[in-house]
Amino acid sequence: MEQFMTRYEDLKRSKKRTLRGYARDLALTGLSLSTSEKYLDKPRVQFLYLHHIFQDEEKRLDALMKKLAKQHQFISYSDAVEKILTGSIDKPYITFSSDDGFKNNLRAAEILNEYNARACFFINPGIVGETNFDKINRFCKEILDFPAVEFLNWDEVDKLQQWGHEIGSHTMMHMNIAKATAAEITDDMAQTYRVLTEKCGSMKHFAFPYGRFFHFSEVGRKAVFDAGFTTCATAERGCHTNPALPLTSKELCIRRDHTVLGWDMSHIMYFLINNAKHASVNNNLYPDTFK
Ligand SMILES: [Zn+2]
């Protein structure tokens, strides 16, 4: 039967909970109790990466926004990048983003709007507006390792932009750049830059799929900027402080914290507090293996 997943509870049930998962939850609960939220007062830029916002996660996003608003100013993705590059981080800032372009991101955007917060949505043009269930199911299962969910269509992408959100590229069809050839990467970058510039008017931001350093390469990083993008994001945890030396957008390694709204709030906060506590100028740069 053709059925899209719409609830986080169903997703949790569909994924086997590993023993390691239990151990992590216990460790995080212990750590979060002993950690102080005062670290969040540290001037810095934190990028949050939300993935899915299922129906039963909407209230949690609202609660998280209320909590974050106490200590942070919400800024757009482009403004967050600018703050780092100009070394003008004078208080705690948070910006938001989301990858893969699930249709439920539209609800996330509506909730962010209520807090005057803006996000950058990294999309795969090859799946935007797809309505064939089998194709969606295959893409979700084989490429995202995720149950079938609906994707945004181009009208909805337009709507996000009208609301003041930004759109970025996540490759045409969620390419694992570490496993692709130089030619495949270059072609994909050029195509996604062209398609998204046509659809969205202009294009600046890129986030590579899967998000960990081992999913990326120096060839990939070069191709991102050669294609015309001006920023490149990971999904490696960490926050940003003013750089020690002048920094160009090509050198900036944007770190984003993957946040699942279904997690316990104390776990979400634990990661942010830990980032603030260990904030380092080195976070602004790619590791040496990328040079
Ligand atoms: Zn992705």
Question: In the prediction, which pLDDT does 123 show?
Answer: 98
Residue 29, classed as helix, strand or coil, is: helix
Tell whether 162 is covered by a domain. yes
Ligand 1 center to residue 98 CA distance, Å? 8
- With a pLDDT cut of 90, the percent of the chain lying above it is 83
Ligand 1 center to residue 123 CA distance, Å? 8
Provide the token pair at 137: 């199911």
pLDDT mean over 39-65:
95
| CATH number of the domain residue 253 falls in | 3.20.20
Ligand 1 center to residue 258 CA distance, Å? 11
Percent of the chain as helix, strand, coil, to the nearest 5: 45, 15, 40
Tell whether 44 is covered by a domain. yes
Question: In the prediction, which pLDDT does 174 show?
Answer: 98
Ligand 1 center to residue 38 CA distance, Å? 32
Rg of the chain taking only CA atoms, in angstroms: 18
Q: How confident is residue 10, by pLDDT bands cut at 50, 70 and 90?
A: confident
Statement: residue 32 has pLDDT above 70: no
Place of tokens 């181009």: 154
Question: In the prediction, which pLDDT does 131 show?
Answer: 94
Ligand 1 center to residue 144 CA distance, Å? 7
Tell whether 26 is covered by a domain. no
Tell whether 218 is covered by a domain. no
Statement: residue 33 has pLDDT above 80: no
Question: In the prediction, which pLDDT does 95 show?
Answer: 98
At position 150, the amino acid (one-letter code) is E
State which residues have CB under 5 angstroms from ligand 1, the bound ion: 99-100, 209
CA-nearest of 141, 134, 39, 33 to 92 is 39
Tell whether 7 is covered by a domain. no
Question: CB of 237 within 8 A of CB of 255?
Answer: yes
Question: CB of 50 within 8 A of CB of 108?
Answer: yes
Ligand 1 center to residue 284 CA distance, Å? 22
Question: In the prediction, which pLDDT does 181 show?
Answer: 97
Burial class (CB in 10 A: 0-12, 13-18, 19+), 201: exposed
Statement: residue 22 has pLDDT above 70: no
Pairing, β 44-50 against β 257-259: parallel
Tell whether 90 is covered by a domain. yes
From CA 60, how far away is CA 243, in angstroms rounded?
Answer: 33
Mind listing the pLDDT tens digit for each residue in 234-259?
A: 999 999 999 998 999 999 999 999 99
Ligand 1 center to residue 198 CA distance, Å? 22
Tell whether 185 is covered by a domain. no
Mind listing the pLDDT tens digit for each residue in 90-110?
A: 999 999 999 999 999 999 999
Question: In the prediction, which pLDDT does 290 show?
Answer: 81
Strand partners, 73: 93
Statement: residue 203 has pLDDT above 70: yes
Question: In the prediction, which pLDDT does 288 show?
Answer: 86
Residue 86: CA atoms inside 13 Å, Cβ hemisphere, count? 9
- With a pLDDT cut of 70, the percent of the chain lying above it is 92
Domain with 250, as residue range(s), is: 39-169+235-284
Ligand 1 center to residue 138 CA distance, Å? 15
Ligand 1 center to residue 100 CA distance, Å? 5
Residue 150: CA atoms inside 13 Å, Cβ hemisphere, count? 18
Tell whether 194 is covered by a domain. no
CA-nearest of 4, 8, 13, 140 to 61 is 8
Instruction: Note the pTM of the prediction, 2 decimals.
Output: 0.94
Ligand 1 center to residue 88 CA distance, Å? 30
φ, ψ (nearest 5 deg) of residue 232 = -140, 125
Ligand 1 center to residue 176 CA distance, Å? 10
Number of compact structural domains in the chain: 1
Statement: residue 126 has pLDDT above 90: yes
Ligand 1 center to residue 140 CA distance, Å? 10
Question: In the prediction, which pLDDT does 1 show?
Answer: 55
pLDDT mean over 204-217:
97
Question: In the prediction, which pLDDT does 139 show?
Answer: 97
Ligand 1 center to residue 141 CA distance, Å? 13
Question: CB of 146 within 8 A of CB of 156?
Answer: no
What are the C-alpha distances in Å from 272 to residues 114, 143, 179, 207, 213? 22, 29, 31, 20, 20
